[in-house]
Amino acid sequence: MARVCDITGKRSRVGGGYSNRTRATKFNPTGKRRRQINLQKKTVFIPELGKKVTVNVSTKGLKTMKKRGAYRTLKAAGILA
C-alpha cells in the first residue's frame, strides 16, 4: 500500500541529502534520499453518519479536519459516499 494521505494527497518525495561539509566545500555530494510524510492511521467518528471511519491521513490533513470538520473534509476528499 502506498504511503499517501487520503485528504491532501501528499506522498513521499525524493530530495537531496546534503551535508554541512558539502555546503562548506561544494564537494562530496551525498546522493538522494526519500522524504516520508508524517502519515497517521486514525479512526474518526462521524456523528452525521453515526459510524467510525479509518483513514490514513497526514498531520496537515488532521489540521484540515479539525478546522473544517471531519464529515465535510472526508466528503470533499471522496472517502464518504
The DSSP annotation for the chain comes to: ---B-TTT--B-EEEE---HHHHHHS-----EEEE---EEEEEEEETTTTEEEEEEEEHHHHHHHHHH-HHHHHHHHTS--
- The whole-angstrom separation of Cα 62 and Cα 70 is 9
The pLDDT of residue 45: 95
Predicted pLDDT at 2: 81
pLDDT for 5:
95
Per-residue confidence at 1, pLDDT binned at 50, 70, 90?
low
Domains in the chain and their CATH numbers? 13-77 (2.30.170)
Q: Is 56 exposed, middle or buried (0-12, 13-18, 19+ CB in 10 A)?
A: middle
Q: pLDDT tens for residues 13-64?
A: 998 877 777 667 766 667 788 999 999 999 999 999 999 999 999 999 999 9
